Structure 1
Amino acid sequence: MRKLQQNKINSLYSQKKIRMSLKKQRNISMNQFSLTGQIKSLKRNELVDFESSLERDYIHILEFDENVRYYYEQPLKIEFDDRYYVPDFYVEYWSGEKEVIEVKYNIDLIENASKYVAKFKAADEFCNTNGLTFRILTENDIRNEYLYNVKFLNAVQIMRNGIESEYFNEFELLERNLKKLKRTTINNLLDICTSCELKRAELIQYLWLMVIHKKIKVDLNKKLNMEVEIWI
């Protein structure tokens, strides 16, 4: 599957000055100036590398977004003027839209603007030629209440991955009562479902799974807590 996907991407972008591969174009190594590491990807069923905490946070968003078909870190090398530029991510959506993403802190963009201008210009030209969108994301785009919620829900999904079918009765209980209430808070729904504290603690885990799988709706741009409004 990985080899087939690589062949597909290589066939799409065949310009002489472009190299695109699912093999990372720049090695990510540990250093004292930035946070590097790996995240387990459920989308890709493998470890994904990051070289800053901001990249790590963006990976959390990609993992949660059901519109993302797949993504790869640093698969693209753009050569220009005897130099080259390796963007941080390639993202493809189920809609067919494709993006090349650079993740940078605002202060970095300001202090090193002259260093990046030619690289970003080359990336923008390449994307315009090949039907892609080039975007630069900063902490203003990534770090917000939505990210807080996504990181929490991703952790729940990893812990509970693959066992949802065992708890049909609990899901049905939550869904049935929420349909009656139409819109309510998490606390109120749990109060309606049970008066047992142990059962309540179990149900909240299943409720988060239903949020993850879009069986229960909530505004993820507001920080999740027991008083947020939920609905079917």
Structure 2
Amino acid sequence: MQVLERLGCKTFLPKKQVCCGQPTYNSGYSKGSLKTFKNEIDALLSIDADYIVGPTGSCVFMIKEYAGILADDPVYGPRAKKLADKICEFSQFIYRVLGIIDCGAELDATITVHRSCHMTRLLGERTAPFVLLDHVKGIKRVPLHNVQLCCGFGGTFSAKEPELSTAMVQDKVKNIMDTKADILVGMETSCLMNIAGYMNRHGDHIKVMHIAEVLNHDVDPSRIKYIKDTNEPVVPANGEGVF
């Protein structure tokens, strides 16, 4: 919220919001999840905001899915559609809605970036966070081998298939450590918790940060820059091969 407020947004945090309902819905409790969905719709629409911003692509995608799930509900169908049209992920909002390319942050570090599955495959956003990170003063970004592969969390997948999940995060951590980066940056808190948890249990030491923490580090507001004030084109969301 500090980042968004610094960029000129007026922010609110609805008190009655809870989980987006994805864990139960993906576990097959489709009817039981409807109450959660409706509660979240009511909470997020309780403030007549222009946009609703989420810190993770996974939750944002689930909330966008409400519109299809509740399409036949005469009351919540239209409300779910209204919510879906307003919500977007944190880095998407900054880059594609606000049109900002440099948040004025500074971080003297070598980073590597974990690109989450839901952010890229479901929301279809592959580039916005990378563009924002590459404009942080002092950062050097090094590529992560097999960046497209899952970290093994996948919500309830890690509990249902612990052996497979562990093997996947083990491979992910090896690739991360091979980069020799100072910091692992991610856009998905669940992925970061999964990766950090494995590293802590196995003695691998690398700092883990959410992109919001990076964009809030040592900020000089005078360096905030809009895309329109540069010669840089807007990079498409599906910019595979570039990031």
Q: What TM-score do the two structures reach when normalised by structure 2?
A: 0.27
Bigger CA radius of gyration:
1
The structure with the largest strand share of the pair is 1
Relative contact order higher in (CA < 8 Å, ≥ 6 apart) = 2
